[in-house]
Amino acid sequence: MEIIVSKNYDELSKKAASFVIDLIKEKPDSVLGLATGGTPEGMYAELVKAYEAGKISFKDVRTYNLDEYIGLDGNHEQSYRHFMNKQLFDHVDIDKNNTYVPNGKAEDLEAECENYEKILKDLSYADIQILGIGTNGHIGFNEPAEELILPTHVEPLVEATIEANSRYFDSKDEVPKEAISMGIGSILKAKHIILLASGPSKNEIMKYFNNDKISTNIPASLIKLHPNVTIIMDEEAAK
């Protein structure tokens, strides 16, 4: 596991983007596993800049996202599909048919999860999987628990997550109570995992990367089992 401490958020974003840019240059039809949340926003902005400067093309890139809120359709401002369009897809030459986000409005959620897992498999999983981390240690929406589910599944959100994510909604009541999330097993199938953490709110949880333990109560700690992990955090998160 490589740990990179960047001076600030701007540097973190540039560093994270540089891994993706190098990958796309080397393999133009790369598969990217993407994350939402505030943390990767700067990285997406850097990727758009690199595209605009003619350094990379997304023409043949395929992407899939970690998760989506149940009950929100792709046009909802807080849906992760909308987030991805706004942050990246609308600004680059990617074919949106090659971008996958679970359908939070699927009538049959179990079938949606199974189908999503099949998509990941057909894509042979991500060359790079980007992850953020919740203050409670969740990745995607895999919440702390005694047992974690390996494939894509429906996950009830815990109170801490609803509270943390309510900042994006008009009120806490509007935050969906469930999500479709890739499981820990599907996340660990990526060839390279890059976890990003920024700011003092991630300080406490990032301490857990200083030891040689794993715990399902800190789902992000399971990435310690993966042979190719890079953690990029800024000084505030690393303090």
Q: Which spans of this chain sit near ligand GLP (rule: CB under 6 A)?
A: 35-39, 66-67, 132-134, 140-141, 161, 165
Indicate which residue of 65, 103, 136, 165 is catalytic. 136
Closest separation in Å from C-beta 161 to ligand GLP: 6
CB atoms near residue 201 (< 10 Å): 13
* CA-to-CA dists, residue 20 to 9, 76, 126, 217, angstroms: 17, 28, 12, 30
Pick the closer one to ligand GLP by CB: 15 or 56: 15
Dist CA 64 CA 89 (whole Å): 12
Closest separation in Å from C-beta 176 to ligand GLP: 11
Q: CB under 8 Å to 149, separation ≥6 — which residues?
A: 142, 155, 183, 184, 185
200 secondary structure, DSSP code: G
**β-bridge mates for residue 5, sequence order:** 233
H or E element, residue 85:
helix 80-87
Confirm whether 136 is a catalytic residue.
Answer: yes
Closest separation in Å from C-beta 92 to ligand GLP: 21
Pick the closer one to ligand GLP by CB: 68 or 127: 68
Confirm whether 165 is a catalytic residue.
Answer: no
Closest separation in Å from C-beta 133 to ligand GLP: 5
Rg (CA), the chain: 17
Closest separation in Å from C-beta 15 to ligand GLP: 16
Pick the closer one to ligand GLP by CB: 56 or 89: 89
For the record, the structure tokens of 20 come out as: 């993706």
Pick the closer one to ligand GLP by CB: 57 or 105: 105
Indicate which residue of 68, 127, 138, 165 is catalytic. 138
Indicate which residue of 143, 155, 234, 236 is catalytic. 143
Q: How many CA atoms lie within 13 A of 48 on its CB side?
A: 14
Confirm whether 212 is a catalytic residue.
Answer: no
Confirm whether 91 is a catalytic residue.
Answer: no
Pick the closer one to ligand GLP by CB: 28 or 200: 200
- Which phi and psi angles does 149 have, rounded to 5°? -95, 135
Please identify every residue annotated as catalytic: 67, 136, 138, 143
